[in-house]
Amino acid sequence: MAEPENIYQCQKVNCGYIYNPDKGDRKGKITKGTDFKDLPETWKCPVCGGGK
């Protein structure tokens, strides 16, 4: 289970998407186990499209 400091919640208004490294991001082709800090700068929130 991911530590709370490794889980990211999108800060855009009306979004609230939660990135969990244990699940990754299928839409963004991010594999399981990738920490938020290790995501590429080009990563976009799969819900609202907000940047990292």
Distance between CA atoms of residues 52 and 36, nearest Å: 9
Can you give the three-state secondary structure of 31-47, one letter per residue?
CCCCCHHHCCCCCECCC
- Name the more confident of 1 and 29: 29
The answer as to whether 48 is a domain residue is no
Distance between CA atoms of residues 47 and 19, nearest Å: 11
Q: How confident is the model at residue 37 (pLDDT cuts 50, 70, 90)?
A: very high
Query: Structure pTM?
Result: 0.84
The answer as to whether 22 is a domain residue is yes
pLDDT tops 90 at residue 19: yes
The pLDDT value given to residue 6: 86
The answer as to whether 20 is a domain residue is yes
The pLDDT value given to residue 16: 93
The answer as to whether 43 is a domain residue is no
Q: Which of 45, 40, 51, 44 has its CA nearest to residue 15? A: 45
Q: Which two tokens stand for residue 50?
A: 């907000």
The answer as to whether 14 is a domain residue is yes
Residues of the domain holding 11? 1-34
Domains held by the chain: number: 1
